[in-house]
Amino acid sequence: MNIDCDGTDWLCPYDPTGMTLTDSGNADGQPQTDWGNLSAYQVPYIVVPNSAVQKLNIPQNAISVVVCAGQMFYAIMGDTNGNTPEVIGEASWLMGQTCFPNAGLNGGVGYDTPDVLCISPSTLRRTDDRHCVYDGVYRS
């Protein structure tokens, strides 16, 4: 899980001790997310590649499920990644802290173990009265 600080906290200027604002590890941070000016410190959001959003028609701010550290949390899909190559597995600072509070995650330090699952329920579609098909699982 990489930490995304786009939005109001776009350079991740945060020190959990409250003493200084020294962490500027998000060198490519943008002052806005794709769907507004979210705060990475206050909003649990995930980042999905542009191509997946377009292919699956995922609406902005779609409610998503994040499974990490053996627990399930909710987030919104708050930003997209259009880099080349597109990267999967980014989340807001708050989402990173929620999943791994003792890992020291910040704009320059991510969580490298590939055991995080992100699901966007907005990609569920009903096929009949009893069945749903899921079109979008993102694993990082």
- pLDDT digits over 65-95, tens only? 899 999 999 999 898 887 787 777 889 989 9
Tell me: pLDDT of 101 over 90: yes
What residue type is assigned to position 139 of the chain? R
CA 22/CA 8 separation, integer angstroms: 16
Host domain of residue 104: 2-139
Please tell me the total count of domains within the chain.
1
State how far the alpha carbon of 140 is from the alpha carbons of 9, 110, 112, in Å.
23, 12, 9
φ, ψ of residue 126 to 5 degrees: the values are: -80, 130
pLDDT digits (tens, 9 = 90+) for 5-15: 888 877 675 55
CA distances from 79 to 20, 82, 101, 120, 130 (A): 27, 10, 22, 13, 32
pLDDT at 16: 52
